[in-house]
Amino acid sequence: MGKLKQIMKKFILHNIEILKKPIEQNLIWFLFTYMAGAFCNALFPWEGSRLIGFFQLFLDVYVVVVIGSLFPRKVWNIAKWILTIFFYTVSIIDLFCWFRLATPISPTLLVTFMQTNSNEAQEALDAYIDYGYILKLLPLFILLAMHIVASNSHRIKAYLNRLTVKFSTAITCAVPLMLAVTLSMCLKNEIFIFYRVALGYNVKDTLITTNILPTVRLYTPVHRFLGAIRDAEQNKDIIKHLHANLELTAVDSCDFRSRNIILIIGESYNRHHSQLYGYNKPTTPLQSQHMKNGNLVVFEDAVAMYNLTNEIFPAMLSTHCIGDSTDWFRTPMFTTLFRNAGYEVSFFSNQYIKDISDSYSDFHEDLLLNNEKMSAAQFSRRNSVRYTYDKELIEEFDSLTSESKGNLVIFHLMGQHINFKSRYPKEFGYFNGEMYSNISPEYRELIAHYDNATLYNDYILNLIIEKFQNEDAIIIHVADHGERTCDNGDDYGRTFSYKPSDVKQQYEIPLWIYFTDRYKELHPDIVQSVIEAKGDPLCTENIAHMLLYLGGIHTVHYSDAHNPLSAGFNPDAPRIINDKYNYDEIINNTKKQ
């Protein structure tokens, strides 16, 4: 028995020695690469937790040295220098873009660079190169210099080898412990990043395929650069078709049926936390009062097609419909049709601002909103500042354009976007965890924060109503998608589970239409059609066609069958969520069980 223990002990120690060997053999490269990556991660918590990013980085650098150790020493030594040059170059560019342009490397930035000729590149360098920003990168340059010196100094190498021997026991214990911790914390992140970067999946497809909500995503400059290349390649054809569509947005005529149309796009709004839909907490008192006064009509059965904003925007802005034989990016945006028809189109968003350098994400909304040509074709006015709270966004919008024949104003709010606690000022902290005795204790405060954010959103929506109260105006409010908020004992946050409770929270959205008194007097026929349609089953693809009808825009891109205010509306059209599942079948099958 004692001999068996000795054999097992030797076996374990031998394997621990194997685990630490790649670090010991590549100690200088490992240390300096980790420090440089940690510096980049420390500057801003990009796409996830900064703390977890430090652990993730250890695992990533370790995997690289393990793979490198499998190659012949001469080959690996050359590869290390290539990787070093690549890593520092990408990191310097990425951080400079962050400091100078307020964006790290992104697909849109990469495409812009690739489309720039030599003259434009020189002008850009003259305009953007600022030595004050370069000085901020000084620690990275110092690390690079130290890395080069250490790699070529026999004295430093010998000193580090002596330290390795001296602290051999500590290293032997630390490496397997660190690997165990990082694997338990970061394995899911590694799987997510592998799908995004190695396999080239976009975010939605990665989330659906892996069912992983990572704690970090493309968290280093290298990850962002490789991800940008992947996404830029995938988006290349989309951009081409979107630009081509600008030539095809024909408008036959426009009678400006509604002079002022205001579309409010909410964010992460679970309608089951709204008084308008029977919630037992007073989260929407101002909207409820407008409904009692007869100015606000609530639609009872509206569904979002996706539970991600980046997927909803193309679905909502384009005239594409479920069942069409073409892709969404081959159809014109309703915003472009409105502009071509003679409307002034204003877009005030607390998420996407007018700044091509603000292209943070790899999502489709970048192509629609941060692409300069697409933005100019769709919008007359945009805001250039993002605010902590939505009130400042509403206050920035000064007035309608009085000289135009018609105005379309789109407000895109931050709403109840996670983190809920950050979405409302302290004075709107009406609800607290003690009011939710029927909810599991660990969720009570979270739900209270969500309801407070909903209460603040009620105040914001009323501010918008008051701003247009004396106008001939119709106001449409729709959320981009819902949000899981621990209802029915479930967790919170987005998921691609299709359990009925998850579907109801994430895809069932609030939709209402408000008429000013003046609008009601001038358009009784539209008011009546809205009242008649309030019980019809709708989804976000109906918004574009309803708006074209309200604007009196006559175009081949308008579909009567997809306009809920039209007598030709088809209420039996399938409502497909995430391009895959029939919402009504999920809900109806549950009701039958």
Task: Write the DSSP string, 44-95.
Answer: --TTB-HHHHHHHHHHHHHHHHHHHHTS-HHHHHHHHHHHHHHHHHHHHHHH
pLDDT per residue as tens digits for the range 335-355:
999 999 999 999 999 988 875
Among the ranges given (100-104, 185-189, 479-483), the one the predictor scored with the smallest mean pLDDT: 100-104
Other CB atoms within a 10 A radius of the CB of residue 528 amount to 11
**Pairing mode, if any, of strands 260-266 and 473-479?**
parallel
Is the Cα dihedral 104, 109, 113, 116 positive or negative?
A: negative
- Considering only CA atoms, which of 237, 250, 243 is closest in space to residue 377? 243
Instruction: Average the pLDDT over 235-252 and give the result.
Output: 83
Boundary-marking domain end, from 191, 210, 235: 235
- Kindly report the three-state secondary structure assignment for every residue of 464-504: HHHHCCCCCEEEEEEECCCCCECHHHCCECCCCCCCHHHHH
Which residue is associated with the tokens 């987005």?
A: 494
Instruction: Average the pLDDT over 492-504 and give the result.
Output: 84
359 near 310, Cβ under 8 Å? no
pLDDT at site 33: 95
Which residue is associated with the tokens 């302290």?
A: 426
378 near 408, Cβ under 8 Å? no
Is the Cα dihedral 229, 233, 234, 235 positive or negative?
A: positive
- Using pLDDT thresholds of 50, 70 and 90, give the confidence band for residue 257: very high
- The CATH number given to whatever domain includes residue 588 is 3.40.720.10
d(CA 305, CA 322): 10
Instruction: Average the pLDDT over 98-125 and give the result.
Output: 64
pLDDT per residue as tens digits for the range 503-543:
999 999 999 999 999 999 999 999 999 999 999 999 999 99
Greater confidence (223 vs 4) lies with 223
Establish if 294 belongs to a structural domain.
yes
* Tokens (6 digits) for 575: 């409502």
Together in a domain, 281 and 217 = no
pLDDT at site 278: 95
d(CA 53, CA 223): 12
90 near 77, Cβ under 8 Å? no
d(CA 490, CA 60): 33
Together in a domain, 212 and 291 = no
Among the ranges given (2-11, 51-60, 241-250), the one the predictor scored with the smallest mean pLDDT: 2-11
Ranges of H-type helices in 256-362 = 285-292, 309-317, 334-341
d(CA 53, CA 505): 31
Greater confidence (101 vs 361) lies with 101
pLDDT at site 357: 46
548 near 314, Cβ under 8 Å? no
- Considering only CA atoms, which of 96, 178, 162 is closest in space to residue 132? 96
Boundary-marking domain end, from 191, 208, 235: 235
Which residues are within 8 A (CB) of 123 and not within 5 positions of it... i.e. 6 or more apart? Answer: none
Establish if 109 belongs to a structural domain.
yes
pLDDT at site 358: 41
Q: Mapping DSSP to helix (H, G, I), strand (E, B) and coil, where does residue 224 land?
A: helix
Establish if 4 belongs to a structural domain.
no
d(CA 273, CA 288): 13
pLDDT at site 227: 87
Asked if the model's pLDDT at residue 172 lies above 90, the reply is no
Please state the domain count of the chain.
2
Establish if 461 belongs to a structural domain.
yes
pLDDT at site 432: 94
Establish if 16 belongs to a structural domain.
yes
Gap between the terminal Cα atoms of the chain: 60
Establish if 1 belongs to a structural domain.
no
Asked if the model's pLDDT at residue 247 lies above 90, the reply is no
Where in the sequence is the domain holding 524, given as residue range(s)?
246-592
d(CA 232, CA 246): 21
Establish if 241 belongs to a structural domain.
no
Together in a domain, 280 and 219 = no
Together in a domain, 217 and 279 = no
pTM of the predicted model, to two decimals?
0.73
Boundary-marking domain end, from 215, 235, 255: 235
Torsion, Cα 22 26 32 37, to 10 degrees, reads -40
Together in a domain, 252 and 162 = no
Q: Cis ω on the peptide bond leading into residue 202 (within 30° of 0)?
A: no
Other CB atoms within a 10 A radius of the CB of residue 20 amount to 18
Together in a domain, 30 and 64 = yes
Q: Which residues pair with 581 in a beta bridge?
A: 577
Greater confidence (223 vs 9) lies with 223
- Using pLDDT thresholds of 50, 70 and 90, give the confidence band for residue 289: very high
- Kindly report the three-state secondary structure assignment for every residue of 89-154: HHHHHHHHHHHHHCCCCCHHHHHHHHCCCHHHHHHHHHHHCCHHHHHHCHHHHHHHHHHHHHHHCH
Asked if the model's pLDDT at residue 101 lies above 90, the reply is no
Tell me the helix, strand and coil percentages in the chain, rounded to 5. 60, 10, 30
pLDDT per residue as tens digits for the range 79-91:
999 999 999 999 9
Together in a domain, 379 and 451 = yes
Q: What's the mean per-residue pLDDT of the chain?
A: 87
Is the Cα dihedral 205, 375, 127, 98 positive or negative?
A: negative
Together in a domain, 536 and 459 = yes
367 near 242, Cβ under 8 Å? yes
pLDDT at site 264: 98
Instruction: Average the pLDDT over 394-408 and give the result.
Output: 89
Establish if 240 belongs to a structural domain.
no
Cβ-based burial of 481 (10 A; exposed 0-12, middle 13-18, buried ≥19):
buried
Q: Mapping DSSP to helix (H, G, I), strand (E, B) and coil, where does residue 302 land?
A: strand
Together in a domain, 340 and 379 = yes
Among the ranges given (16-20, 155-159, 319-323, 478-482), the one the predictor scored with the smallest mean pLDDT: 16-20
For the chain, give the percent of residues with pLDDT over 70.
89
Asked if the model's pLDDT at residue 364 lies above 70, the reply is no
Q: What are phi and psi of 508, to 5 degrees?
A: -80, 120
Together in a domain, 405 and 472 = yes
* Tokens (6 digits) for 520: 């009601």
Together in a domain, 223 and 83 = yes
d(CA 121, CA 125): 6
Find the length of the chain. 593
pLDDT at site 315: 87
* Tokens (6 digits) for 111: 């495409």
Together in a domain, 224 and 305 = no
